[in-house]
Copies of this chain bind each other. A is one copy, B any other.
Amino acid sequence: MADSRFFSNAGPFSIEQLAEMTGAKATGADVAHRSFLDVCPLDQASATDVSFLDNNKYKSDFLKSAAGLCIVRPEFAATAPDGMALLLTADPYTAYALVASAFYPATYRDAMISPRATIQATAKIGENCSIAPGVHIAAQVVIGDNCVIGANTDISQGCEIGSGAMIGSNVSIQCSRIGRSVIVHPGARIGQDGFGFAPGAQGHRKVPQLGRVLIGNDVEIGANTTIDRGTGPDTRIGDGTKIDNLVQIGHNVEIGQHCFIVAHVGISGSTKIGNFTMIGGQVGIAGHLQIGSGVKIAAQSGLMRDVGDGQTVGGSPAQPMKVWLREIAMVQKMAKKKR
């Protein structure tokens, strides 16, 4: 059971309701008459809980789980423990996401603008916003409806933030236009100067950073992640792209739609990335590269060349995944022999 100090449970739900919201097929003993109070991991669940099996690593937990209802792929139906009802679907994780969101809808704080927020007179704040103490909203900022802004966040002059944004505490936003339904976690830094200097033997001269950060809709930006604004061109993040914590995105980078970018990734200036590309943790990407759509990049890879659509790469310097794995296997085998 989620801790009620932090989360509010909107259950119970009947199997019928759960089947309808997920499009999954209900099956198992006594399906019609049961209802459920909560979601819970397989190994801790009881008869009133809904659980799910997506990653096969947790199959043994499934086989001995006491969960009353489990969301699984159809092939697992035969091995379900006695007394467990099932919701069968090809995509249990998405179905679980829907169910968990039904039990725990995003809690909306009361719309309330703290008298301890500082909002300049020329800023425009939409309807039904919650703005916490210590927030600073500068001149000419425009904030859409139904936004939540956490304590001590700073939004600099002229920024625009679309409706439905959830901005965490202690965030800094400058020179940016941000779309609808964006989530920005605490401590993210958006729109500061890129790292641009004309090097010189007497010292390095700062190059003015005259672009912006343009962020689409439904983007999520992790805690303490940094996104620099462009030098003249803009830095762009496409709709639906999800960025984890502590990621660095350099000036003029363009990232397409629905990408995943895992923690500690660094993307150097002016690199362009397509749609639905997945970048593993701690990957580094050099500047001025073209990375295609549907690319998968293994964790800790280092990219120094362009990568075409649909490729999977790994290693530093990165190579096609098969080539990289073959080289690792070869070196390991040779070292064993020589021993």
Taking Cβ atoms with an 8 Å cutoff, the residues of A that contact B are: 2-3, 5-7, 39-41, 44, 55, 57, 91, 93-94, 96-98, 100-101, 103-104, 106, 114, 116, 118, 132-134, 136, 140, 150-152, 154, 156-158, 168-172, 174-175, 183, 185-187, 189, 192-193, 195, 197-200, 203-208, 210-212, 218, 220, 222-224, 226, 228, 232-233, 239-240, 242, 244-246, 248, 250, 257-258, 260, 262-264, 266, 268, 281-282, 284, 286, 288, 299-300, 302, 316-317, 319, 323, 326-328, 330-332, 334-335, 338-339
Contacting residue for A152 out of B6, B41, B152, CB 8 A: B152
Which B residues are CB-close (under 8 A) to A335? 323, 326-327, 330
Which B residues are CB-close (under 8 A) to A169? 136, 154, 156, 172
Q: How far, in angstroms, from A268 to B281 measured CA to CA in the complex?
A: 8
Apart from A223-B226, A248-B281, list 12 A-B contacts with CB within 8 A. A3-B175, A57-B288, A96-B198, A98-B205, A101-B208, A136-B151, A174-B186, A185-B193, A195-B244, A197-B242, A330-B331, A330-B335
Which B residues are CB-close (under 8 A) to A244? 195, 248
Which B residues are CB-close (under 8 A) to A189? 185-187, 223-224, 245
Smallest CB gap from A243: residue in B: B195
A338 CB to nearest B CB, Å: 6
Which B residues are CB-close (under 8 A) to A187? 170, 172, 187, 189, 224, 226
Contacting residue for A2 out of B91, B157, B200, B210, CB 8 A: B210
Smallest CB gap from A262: residue in B: B195
